[in-house]
Amino acid sequence: MNQKKAREARRQASAAAPESTARFSRTQLLIAAGTVAVVVVVVAGIFAARGTGPAQPIVSTSGDAITISGTDPITGSAVSLADYAGKPIVLNVWGSWCEGCIAEAADLQRFVEAHPEAQMIGINLNDTNGGARAFYKQWGWQHPSIDDPRGEISKSLGLQGTPTTFFLDSSHRVVTRIVGETDFAGFEQGLAAAVSPT
C-alpha cells in the first residue's frame, strides 16, 4: 500500500510540474521582452544623441589651440600637431573595429587626396597596431595617426562617439566637428568652416 501511495504522489507531482515550468517560462519570456525593449530604447537614444550628420559648430570659451602628440601606430614615428603650425588640421578619431569608420574610410581617403591644403591626422582609438596597419593597407591611407590605446586623447577632446572628425583652423582651434560617420561632402563642409574667415 505504501508503494501505491508513493507512485500516486510521484504521478501527481509529474502532472503539476509542466504547469509550473510553463508559468516560469512565460515569466522569463516577459522579462526578456522587457529587457530587449529597454535596450532598444537606450541604443536609439544613444544614436539620437550622437549628433550624426553635418558638421556642427563648437562654441569654445577658451579659444585655446589643441596640442596633441604621440606615436604613429603604423610607422612608429612621433607625430605632433605642432609640426603642422599654420595649417588647418582635420583630426579623425577612428578604429579598425569601428563600423562607421569602415563606412567612411574610402570618402576620407578621397577627401585627403582632394585637399592637400589641410593636414589629416588620425587618432587611432582602442586599437591594435596590427588592426591599424591592416586598415591603412585596405583603404590606401597614408596620413599620420596618433595611437590612443586607452582613449585618453579622445577623452580630452570630449569624444561622444566613433568616428568623430574635428576640424581645426590654422591656429589649431576646434571650429567644428562631425560625430558619427560622414561622407566626402561632410568632410568638405567641415573643412570649409575651418578655413573660412571669422
What's the pLDDT tens digit per position in 171-190?
A: 999 999 999 999 999 999 99
Do 87 and 172 fall within a single domain? yes
* Domain containing residue 181: 56-195
pLDDT of 18 higher than 70: no
Q: Verify that 154 and 74 share a domain, yes or no.
A: yes
Note the pLDDT of residue 9: 65
* Average confidence score pLDDT of the chain: 81
Q: What is the pLDDT of residue 66?
A: 92
pLDDT higher than threshold 90 for residue 10: no
Q: Are residues 91 and 114 in the same domain?
A: yes
Same-domain status, 66 and 132: yes
Q: Is the pLDDT of residue 16 over 70?
A: no
Amino acid 38: pLDDT: 46
pTM exceeds 0.85:
no
CB 172 within 8 Å of CB 145: no
Same domain (yes/no): 99, 123: yes
**CATH code of the domain containing 150:** 3.40.30.10
pLDDT at 89 over 80: yes
pLDDT reported for residue 64: 82
Q: Which helix (H) or strand (E) holds 57?
A: strand 56-57
8 Å CB contact between 94 and 181: no
Tell me which residue of 132, 191, 125, 134 sits closest to 161, measured CA to CA. 125
Pairwise CA distance, residues 170 & 84, whole Å: 9
Whether 67 and 145 map to the same domain: the answer is yes
Q: What is the reported pLDDT for 20? A: 44
Q: Which tens digits make up the pLDDT trace of 107-131?
A: 999 999 999 999 999 999 999 999 9
pLDDT at 57 over 90: no
What is the rounded CA–CA span in Å between residue 18 and residue 107? 58
Please, what is the Cα angle at 123 between 56 and 72, to 5 degrees? 155
What type of residue is 49? A
Residue for cell digits 573660412?
Answer: 196
Domain tally, the chain: 2
